Amino acid sequence: MTGRRLGVVVCQCGGNISDYVDTEKVRSEIAKEGDVVASQVQMFACSDAAQQSVIQEIREKKLDGVVVCSCSPKLHTATFRAMAQRAGLNPYEYTQVNIREQCSWAHTHDRAAATEKALKLARAGVAKTALSVPLERMRVETLPQALVVGAGVAGLRAALALSDLGISVHLIERAAEAGGQVARWGTLFPNDKVGRELVDGLIDEVRRRENVNLYLSTELVEKTGRLGEFAVTLRTRTGDTIGLKVGAIVVATGFDPYSPKEGEFGFGLEGVITLPELKELVAEHPGRLEYHGRPVRSIAYIYCVGSRDGADTPGGHTYCSRYCCSATSHLATVVSGLDPTVHQFHLFRDVRTYGKYETLYERALRGGSVYLRYGEEARPTVTREEGGLVVRVKDRLMRSEEVEMRPDLVVLVTGMVPRENDALVRALKLPIGQDGFFHEVHVKLRPVETVVDGVYIVGAAQGPKNVAESVSSALAAVSKTGGLLLKGYVDLDPLVAKVDPTLCVWCDECTKACPYGAVAPVDYGDRRIAEVNGVLCKGEGACVPVCPKQAISVQGYSNEQIHAMIDALAAEAT
Amino acid sequence: MKVDTEFLSALKLGGEFDARLCINCGTCTALCPLGVELMPRRLFRYALLGHREGVLGEAETIFSCLLCRLCEANCPAGIHIAENVRTLRTVVNRDVYGLAEA
């Protein structure tokens, strides 16, 4: 017992936890711990009502530390720290214990063991909190300048919106021209705006802005520094390097269209093209649709090429690319607008012209398109026989009767795949998701933020999106950037390493262990000791075990706290 | 079934032939007082895909329809089934019975 007054909340997560962990048992057992003076079970600890009830208990029982046993700290640490602060506690005297991902979700087969593990983790959380000390956040300045990587529709729109906020923008583009994929396409759904015109308008506006600098044929090669003040190095095609200081970075590097493998749905055969190729073909021939000089009288579209692959497909893409159903149905209306006698057959798995784009599907139907549904297990085949393309498909609406057609053109409706961006990924140290796209911190609540503070991901770099969705995410990142940079300062987590000057003998081991270059020597009276730059330090603790004097520790994770947690976890073993 | 785009073009299925909107629920087949299995959804599918034999080979079936519109009144997609049958009767008259279009 330490004489602390701790409170513990055990969350049921609406059954996510309580279906496999006996939350009431965890509560009643943890209540027996010496320092615990209050405990409660909540159905959703993160709900407003539950937080209000915890705040009331903190005040009434004069608690000086709180433990919430709920989900991953990645999800709700900030939520509950803010709750503790509202109740008048220091936010760093709050501890989150993960009994969902680490207990209920991991041990669905064994309720008793999951409960026991949850209780042990809760005890460790209590032991850690009993030794917690109040910490203050560190305030650092931020520069009102941003780097936007990629001048496609999302990057251009982000640059303009940042400029509107008074933030200076450096907009870089790897290609020799701005505009990205959209610039190559003709009319786009839903309002028939021409892609080239859409981005030209943005580029023209960007060039008018005094506080936007556009760099073409330029790549980002290095990034150092911190949120609010990154030092970035750019390299132009000629090999010149440019050094800049920016407060935040918006990554808008877009996608690559899926490139089918040779032989995939006949790819490689004369007359088998992809959706982007047809879009370019239509854009380039605004009159009658022709392919290699011959008029196109009939088209077969094969949907979901390079999307929605089964999980067992090697190198497959399991996600839906979102834009292709709407884009293809829209393109079909454009084609039938050019020539209503062209026959168009859509071989699809599911039509996902979601939301407002549903009307495109009906427009395509009324324009003469016929949709045939095929099953994943019975994919259409494309061959070339007697000089013509032959497509065979089993029509699900006709009891899988085989339909054979000889279209002039087969269009593979290809999805979006992540871009090859290895150098950029290395420079920014951004995490990549299982699907290969850049990974956001939280899929619902923090969709444009990354684990690298001050670096945002927008548009199709984060996952398949249509133009409107890409622009929405670009503007979301702009508002995050504005919130970060316009205040002029930012408060950082104090969970960083700290040196005890009375113990340190400056042996240099911590400097060598630190991957962030955050430790340097300083004079301390008549001797030298190590000092940690709290802004560069990420608090990951590589310096702690290498110190021979145990002079360095991470605040909020002191050696005493870690020992107490181990003791609590191993209590029953002794 | 072979898609015959020439036959399909000759069918001249204009905008008023709205069977493309069919969701193949089968309500029409279930309600048909004659119990004609082919009618109308499979027949329309044959027409939309330009299946020559599937349409012309079913001339008698196409004319057996009573045009009672029981199916049409209950079609969830709001398809003008009887009008579509009339369109196909015109085609059969022309291509099977050799009657000139009126």
Domain A6-135 sits in CATH at: 3.40.50
Residue A86 corresponds to which amino acid?
R
Q: Give DSSP secondary structure letters for A10-68.
A: EE-GGGTTTTTS-HHHHHHHHTTSTTEEEEEEES-TTSHHHHHHHHHHHHHTT-SEEEE
Minimal Cα–Cα distance from B15 to chain A, Å?
A: 6
Q: Do B20 and A345 touch (CB under 8 A)?
A: no
CA-to-CA separations, A89 to A6, A58, A64, in angstroms, rounded: 11, 8, 7
Chosen for mutation from A370, A386, A389, A393 (greatest number of chain B CBs closer than 10 Å) is: A370
B99/A8: higher pLDDT? A8
Q: DSSP label at A497?
A: E
Q: Enumerate the domain spans of chain A.
A: 6-135, 145-254+419-490, 258-415, 497-554
Are the CB atoms for B81 and B69 separated by under 8 Å?
Answer: yes
Closest chain A C-alpha to B8 CA, distance in angstroms: 9
Q: Which whole-number Å values give the CA distances from A405 to A192, A347, A370, B1, B14, in the listed order?
A: 30, 11, 13, 9, 21
Nearest to A401 among B1, B9, B50 (CB): B1
A542-559 pLDDT per residue, tens: 999 999 999 999 999 999
Top-confidence residue, B37 or A64: A64
| For A362, nearest residue in chain B (alpha carbons) | B21
B48: left (phi over 0), alpha (psi -120 to 50) or beta: alpha
Whether B38 shows a pLDDT value over 80: the answer reads no
In the predicted model, what is the mean pLDDT of residues A195-222?
Answer: 96
Residue A370 has its nearest CB partner, among B15, B24, B48, at: B48
Q: Please give the backbone phi and psi of residue A2, each rounded to the nearest 5 degrees, phi first.
A: -115, -5
Distance CA A552, CA B95 (A): 94
* Cβ(A218)–Cβ(A174) below 8 Å: yes
Task: Check if the beta carbon of residue A171 is closer than 8 Å to that of residue A156.
Answer: yes
CA B50/CA A370 separation, integer angstroms: 11
Inter-chain residue contact B49 with A362, CB threshold 8 Å: no
A-chain CB neighbours of B45 within 8 Å are 395, 397-398
The pLDDT confidence band at residue A177, using thresholds 50, 70 and 90, is very high
Report the sign of the C-alpha dihedral through residues A255, A260, A265, A266, in that order. positive
Q: What's the confidence (pLDDT) of residue A220?
A: 96
Share of chain A above pLDDT 70, in %: 99
CB-neighbour burial class of residue A152 (10 A; exposed 0-12, middle 13-18, buried 19+)? buried
Closest residue in chain A to residue B21, using alpha carbons only: A365
pLDDT at B15: 65
Residue A182 pLDDT: 93
- Quote the pLDDT of residue A538: 84
**Which of A85-99, A314-328, B22-36 has the least mean pLDDT?**
B22-36
Q: Which two tokens stand for residue B97?
A: 């019975």
Residues of B in contact with A372 (CB under 8 A): 49
Average pLDDT over residues B34-53: 87
Partners of A370 on chain B (C-beta within 8 Å) are: 20, 48-49
Nearest CA in chain B to A401: B1
Please list every residue in chain B whose beta carbon sits closer than 8 Å to the beta carbon of residue A409. none
Which member of A343, A369, A372 has the closest CB to residue B8?
Answer: A343
Is A278 in a helix, a strand, or coil? helix
Whole-number pLDDT of residue B20? 87
Contact B1 A298 (CB under 8 A): no
CA distance A407 to chain B (A): 9
Q: Is B102 within the bounds of a domain?
A: no
- pLDDT tops 80 at residue A286: no
> What pLDDT, on a 0 to 100 scale, did the predictor assign at position B51?
94
Task: Pick the residue from chain A with its C-alpha nearest to B45.
Answer: A398
Q: Which of A195, A198, A337, A180 is nearest to A280 (CA)?
A: A195
A293-313, pLDDT tens digit by residue?
Answer: 899 999 999 999 999 998 888
In angstroms, the CA A113 to CA A210 distance is 64
Closest alpha carbon within chain B to A370: B20
* Token pair for A296: 């196109």
Q: In terms of CA atoms, which chain A residue is nearest residue B2? A: A404
User: What is the CATH number assigned to the segment(s) A497-554?
Assistant: 3.30.70.3270
pLDDT in the model for residue A225 = 85
The pLDDT of residue B35 is 84
d(CA B19, CA B16): 9
Q: What is the pLDDT of residues A106-144, one digit of tens each?
A: 999 999 999 999 999 999 999 999 999 999 999 999 999
The residue with tokens 């209050």 is A38
Residue-level pLDDT at B102 = 55
Task: Give the 3-state secondary structure percentages of chain B, helix then strand then coil, rounded to 5.
Answer: 55, 0, 45
Residue where the block lists tokens 């113990």 = A503
* pTM, 2 dp: 0.80
| Residue with tokens 């405990």, as numbered in its chain | A39
Q: Which domain holds residue B90?
A: 5-95
What pLDDT is recorded for position B101?
Answer: 62
Domain A258-415 has CATH 3.50.50.60: yes
Cβ within 8 Å of residue A478, ≥6 positions away? A158, A161, A162, A165, A250
Of all residues in chain A, the one with the smallest CA distance to B3 is: A405
Residue B100 lies in a domain: no
Distance from C-alpha of A392 to C-alpha of A335, rounded to nearest angstrom: 23
Distance, first Cα to last Cα, chain B? 31
Which residue does chain B place closest to A399, by CA atoms? B42
C-alpha to C-alpha distance for B54 and A409, rounded to whole angstroms: 25
Q: Which CATH superfamily is domain A145-254+419-490 in?
A: FAD/NAD(P)-binding domain (3.50.50.60)
Cβ contact (<8 Å) for B3 and A395?
no
Nearest CA of chain B to the CA of A384: how many Å?
16
Taking the CA of residue A310 and the nearest CA in chain B, the distance in Å comes to 26
In this chain, the answer to whether the domains covering A258-415 and A497-554 adopt an identical fold is no
CB contact under 8 A, A343 and B24: no
Q: How many CB atoms lie within 10 A of CB A356?
A: 11
Number of domains in chain B: 1
Angle between helices A73-86 and A48-60 (to 10 degrees): 50
Q: Which of A341, A365, A405 faces B21 most closely, judged by CB atoms?
A: A365
What mean pLDDT value characterizes chain A? 94
Which residues of B lie inside 8 Å of A (Cβ-Cβ)?
1-3, 5, 8-9, 13, 15, 18, 20-21, 24, 42, 45, 48-50
Q: Is the pLDDT of residue A86 over 60?
A: yes
pLDDT of residue A387: 76
pLDDT at A137 (0 to 100): 92
Asked if residue A228 has pLDDT above 70, the reply is: yes
Cα–Cα distance, A283 to A425 (Å, whole number): 34
Could you tell me the two tokens for A517? 């270059």
User: What tokens were used for A300?
Assistant: 């077969």
The pLDDT of residue A103 = 96
What's the token pair of residue A11? 């969350």
pLDDT of A224 higher than 90: no
Tens-place pLDDT, residues A377-400: 899 999 999 879 999 999 988 888
Query: Which chain B positions have a beta carbon within 8 Å of A382's beta carbon?
Result: none
* 3-class secondary structure, A330: helix
Nearest CB to A397: which of B1, B2, B24?
A: B24
Is A299 or A187 the better-scoring residue by pLDDT? A299
**Over 60: is that where the pLDDT of A574 sits?**
no
**A interface with B, Cβ–Cβ below 8 Å:** 297-298, 341, 343, 345, 362, 365-366, 368-372, 395, 397-398, 401-406
Measured in angstroms, the CA of A191 and the nearest CA of chain B are apart by 23
- For the cut 90, the answer to whether the pLDDT of residue B40 exceeds it is no
**Which position has the token pair 């407003």?**
A48
pLDDT digits (tens, 9 = 90+) for A353-362: 999 999 999 9
H helix runs in A431-534, sequence order: 467-485, 509-513
pLDDT in tens, A408-451: 999 999 999 999 889 999 999 888 999 999 999 888 989 999 98
Kindly report the CA angle at A291 between A288 and A293, in degrees rounded to 5? 85
Q: Which residues of B touch A344 (CB under 8 A)?
A: none
CA A44, CA A55: separation in Å to the nearest integer?
15
- Are residues B45 and A397, on separate chains, in Cβ contact within 8 Å? yes
Q: Which tokens go with A69?
A: 């046993």
Question: Distance between CA atoms of A235 and A232, rounded to whole angstroms?
Answer: 10
